[in-house]
Copies of this chain bind each other. A is one copy, B any other.
């Protein structure tokens, strides 16, 4: 079979299926949440599953979208209501190659309080640039259904994210971006773990905690990026049902 000229790299598709399964297996997503990858050959497109639980996604469920969140090949399949999270961030951030949106549980309390998410250990150095909180009331008023269900809300979220790796959505969840799909998954997982450990440390230390400073955070993030494959192999092995 001849692939169309703009078909994405099959390895990227495989990784996107694995990313869906891994995020469920590691407790970042449950029946909801989604992960996308920018098309490797056409930067004005991105890949995202049809509306379904990430833990059940297969290759046949991956659709292609343009940056207005129109699906090129959906047919009658339902689309995620919040696909505008992806399209608007891809528009605003040319450096971003992958996006995870989740209701990652330990992060929810940080979105609902004034406590900042900060890097408590080197695995989450990517949080050193800060994790802004998006208050949907600022962009959509006080009677939304909390969902990023329009280009305008997606654009407002992208503005709040700015150049950061992570943004928290008050009363909803979070968004994690990265220059590669595997790194986005890595960051989503360690955002969840960092939130849990930071909350525990703040209780243990009665508010007095030593976080990574900006230089440590940046250097740790740079050191970890090339090591992502080591964790990916394990996560994939576990998520895709290999015997351990």
Q: How many copies does the complex hold?
A: 4
A197 beta carbon closer than 8 Å to chain B: yes
Q: Are A144 and B231 in contact (CB under 8 A)?
A: no
Q: Are A199 and B204 in contact (CB under 8 A)?
A: yes
Q: Are B32 and A230 in contact (CB under 8 A)?
A: yes
A51 beta carbon closer than 8 Å to chain B: yes
A147 proximity list for chain B (CB < 8 A): 122, 220, 223
- Which A147-178 residues sit within 8 Å CB-CB of chain B? 147, 170-173
A139 beta carbon closer than 8 Å to chain B: no
Q: Are B215 and A143 in contact (CB under 8 A)?
A: yes
A233 proximity list for chain B (CB < 8 A): 31, 52-53, 56
A79 beta carbon closer than 8 Å to chain B: no
A113 beta carbon closer than 8 Å to chain B: yes
A4 beta carbon closer than 8 Å to chain B: no
A92 beta carbon closer than 8 Å to chain B: no
Out of B56, B122, B199, name the residue touching A234 (CB < 8 Å).
B56
Give A149's nearest chain B residue, CB to CB: B223
**One of A38-46, A64-72, A101-109 at the interface:** A101-109
Q: Are B220 and A121 in contact (CB under 8 A)?
A: no
A106 proximity list for chain B (CB < 8 A): 200
Which 9 A-B pairs give the minimum distances between C-beta atoms?
A31-B231, A113-B205, A109-B201, A145-B219, A53-B234, A122-B146, A143-B215, A145-B223, A31-B234
